[in-house]
Amino acid sequence: MSDKTAFSAIDDVVDAAISSKKLVGTVVLMAKDGEIVYRRAAGMADREAGLPMREDTIFRLASVTKPIVTAATMRLIEQGRIGLDDPVTKWLPDFRPKLADGSEPTILIRHLLTHTSGLSYSFEAEDGPYARAGVSDGVDQPGLPLAENLKRIASVPLAFAPGTGWQYSVAMDVIGGVIEKETGRRLGDAVAELVMQPLGLGDTGFSVADRSRLSVAYVDGSPEPKRMSETETVRLLNGSVTFAPDRIFNPDSFHSGGGGMAGTAGDVIAILEALRKGGAPLLSQATVQQMMTNQIGDLLEEARPGFGFGYGWAIIRDPAKAGLPVSAGSLQWGGVYGHHWFIDLERKITLVGLTNTTPEGMWGSFTLDLKKAMAASF
């Protein structure tokens, strides 16, 4: 249970989201100075079956996968097995997407990690080139092999020359292919060895450890969120995301480095806290500092004022411009199944809010309200 005196503002945010039926269920954890100071499971993990949310509920993580796979990548970089300035073709010789003029630029590992490669996502445009090519965003198309998805991605012209723009993309799925080639193992096995096992974590991976603990997925709706069907298409920005919630049960589904993991809030905050505190036992402090440093100049400034991007997450360079009540240099990201997390480095606070309701739990008022509540508590 939470401390109602110290953290009543956070409790109020969670209570309001559940009572107003913006969310079906959520698990919120907050660490301060390395200690969990707030923990709350609220609402339902399976509304129809009457199963309440528990702190150890497992969620489909979507893009919360990205910082985890980034940490695995950075471990391989520290080991000298992958280089930031190595071309992707060193591991994936057939992965050669071209520019619109037909020329073939060199995509580097750093371009993938910072989303400056010129790649994109299918959901960015309703009938865009990725959708037409049948590219999977990593949360759909159960049973699709990685080799086939990489082939489809490479068939689409790049949006810009690598390093000259920023576009959220399937780049981490390509990184997954690089990791598989380098290690000779499936991505899930490599990530388990590189990230999970050193931290003693066992509930998060590319399969579900205990199906009885897996939350149902829901979509925003009125008067209450709708339970996702076997295939669910959700409008998002200028396009739509197609979900296949049972994808993770199909062992032939490629391990999506951008969105394929499932896990608990406890595991996620443990990974983020290890990085916030300096990286041990995963990474050196110097590597973590690189990850927390803006790597893209002003490439995001027009689209997202006040934001930059490091390795694995967005960086809030100017909180006033971003309109967020956090300290400069704070980190954040989320996941399209309905998740959000942030790290306020100055306050030494990490907050993870995993929900089973999209898109509210990813970028609805719930995410901003949690930040405001954190600021009110500290």
Residues with a known catalytic role = 63
Phi and psi angles of residue 129, each rounded to the nearest 5 degrees, phi first: -65, -35
Q: How many residues does the chain have?
A: 378
Integer CA distances (angstroms), 205 to 106, 210, 284, 373, in order: 31, 11, 23, 31
At 258, list the tokens. Answer: 């951008």
CA atoms within 13 A on the CB side of 241: 20
Q: Tokens 């995001």 map to which residue?
A: 300
Confirm if 268 and 354 have CB atoms less than 8 A apart.
Answer: yes
- Give the CA radius of gyration of the chain: 19
The helix, strand and coil proportions of the chain, stated in percent and rounded to the nearest 5, come to: 35, 20, 45
3-state secondary structure of 8: helix
Pairing type for strands 232-236 and 35-46 reads unpaired
d(CA 178, CA 262): 21
- Long-range CB pairs of 358-362 (<8 Å, 24+ gap) are 358/217, 358/218, 358/219, 358/220, 358/234, 359/220, 359/234, 359/236, 360/17, 360/22, 360/23, 360/220, 360/225, 361/23, 361/26, 361/334, 361/337, 362/334, 362/335, 362/336, 362/337, 362/338
